[in-house]
């Protein structure tokens, strides 16, 4: 069914199924990747500990060719159970937050945070093996915190404050206080998260890319149509929008 109107007040942004956190499909999938990564970290640690694999040898060794491989391996290798547990819970919760509130670009944030942090550590760190997922924890915590501040949205600001409250002590980890802790990984991760927050600052977590020149502000009038058809289109006859048609898909209950 289609509805036509000449009122420019009913400009409707493009809205793509699967990008709003209230949708059942998103609720089903937002936890899968974090759970898989957490499970992988536990399995790798168990294999390393049980079979004495000494996987630290495949860790990130800065400015060496073999160390490049460690960029991908390092986050999954931990030196002790306490080392693993210190990273496991915050990493899981931060991945949940990113998958939920930034669902349409979560894969980009996670992949870039993972790779860029490792590359920076490979460039700037001391010539020792660097292992553990703490660099990625810093990257994702930094992204969530700064993204909420930059966007200024209430729910994202709340998440930023929660991250600051729970992981505020992470700030001191970027300084060379403890010689046996890879503060370079923490610094690289924090910087990476900040850069990603700036890069994606114009991305609205709930909407796909809008039509050029159209405001990304969430229209409140949608609330007035709780029983509207699942799909409709609005054509604008105003001269400025004569050739633009906006589509909206109502999230399924």
SS3 per residue for 182-245: CHHHHHHHHHHHHHHHHHCCCCCCCCCCCCCCCCCCCCHHHHHCCCCCCEEEEECCCHHHCCCE
Dump pLDDT digits (tens) for 129-146: 999 999 999 999 999 999
Q: Which domain does 225 fall in, by range?
A: 8-16+207-249
Whichever domain contains 183, its CATH number is 1.20.1540.10
Q: Within this chain, do residues 122 and 75 fall inside the same structural domain, yes or no? A: yes
Q: Within this chain, do residues 42 and 155 fall inside the same structural domain, yes or no? A: yes
Provide the mean pLDDT of the chain: 78
238, pLDDT greater than 80? no
Q: Within this chain, do residues 222 and 160 fall inside the same structural domain, yes or no? A: no
- 1 within domain boundaries: no
Q: Within this chain, do residues 172 and 212 fall inside the same structural domain, yes or no? A: no
Q: Within this chain, do residues 178 and 221 fall inside the same structural domain, yes or no? A: no
| N-terminal to C-terminal alpha carbon distance within the chain | 19
Q: Which of 4-18, 58-72, 128-142, 182-196 shows the lowest per-residue confidence on average (mean pLDDT)?
A: 4-18
Q: Within this chain, do residues 233 and 168 fall inside the same structural domain, yes or no? A: no
Share of the chain above pLDDT 90, in %: 53
d(CA 75, CA 211): 39
Q: Within this chain, do residues 220 and 139 fall inside the same structural domain, yes or no? A: no
- 211 within domain boundaries: yes
- 2 within domain boundaries: no
Instruction: Give the predicted TM-score (pTM) of the model.
Output: 0.72
d(CA 41, CA 251): 35
How would residue 21 be classed by pLDDT, with cut points 50, 70 and 90? very low
Task: Please tell me the total count of domains within the chain.
Answer: 2
Share of the chain above pLDDT 70, in %: 69
Q: Within this chain, do residues 12 and 90 fall inside the same structural domain, yes or no? A: no
124, pLDDT greater than 90? yes
């Amino acid at each position: 069914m289609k509805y036509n109107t000449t009122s420019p007040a009913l400009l409707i942004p493009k809205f793509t199924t699967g990008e709003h956190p209230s949708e059942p499909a998103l609720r089903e999938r937002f936890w899968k990747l974090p759970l898989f990564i957490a499970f992988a970290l536990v399995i790798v640690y168990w294999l390393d500990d049980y079979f004495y694999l000494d996987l630290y040898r495949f860790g990130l060794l800065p400015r060496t060719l073999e160390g490049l491989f460690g960029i991908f391996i390092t986050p999954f290798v931990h030196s002790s159970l306490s080392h693993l547990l210190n990273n496991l819970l915050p990493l899981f919760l931060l991945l949940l937050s990113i998958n939920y509130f930034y669902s349409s670009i979560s894969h980009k944030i996670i992949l870039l945070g993972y790779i860029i942090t490792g590359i920076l550590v490979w460039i700037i760190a001391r010539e020792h093996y660097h292992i553990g997922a703490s660099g990625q924890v810093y990257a994702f915590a930094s992204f969530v915190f700064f993204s909420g501040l930059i966007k200024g949205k209430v729910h994202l600001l709340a998440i930023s404050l929660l991250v600051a409250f729970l992981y505020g002590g992470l700030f001191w980890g970027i300084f060379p206080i403890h010689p046996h802790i890879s503060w370079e990984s923490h610094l690289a991760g924090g910087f990476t998260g900040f850069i990603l927050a700036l890069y994606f600052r114009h991305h609205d977590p709930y909407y796909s890319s809008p039509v050029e020149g159209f405001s990304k502000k969430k229209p409140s009038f949608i609330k007035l149509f709780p029983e509207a058809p699942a799909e409709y289109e609005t054509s604008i006859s105003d001269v400025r929008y004569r050739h633009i048609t906006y589509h909206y898909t109502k999230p399924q209950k």
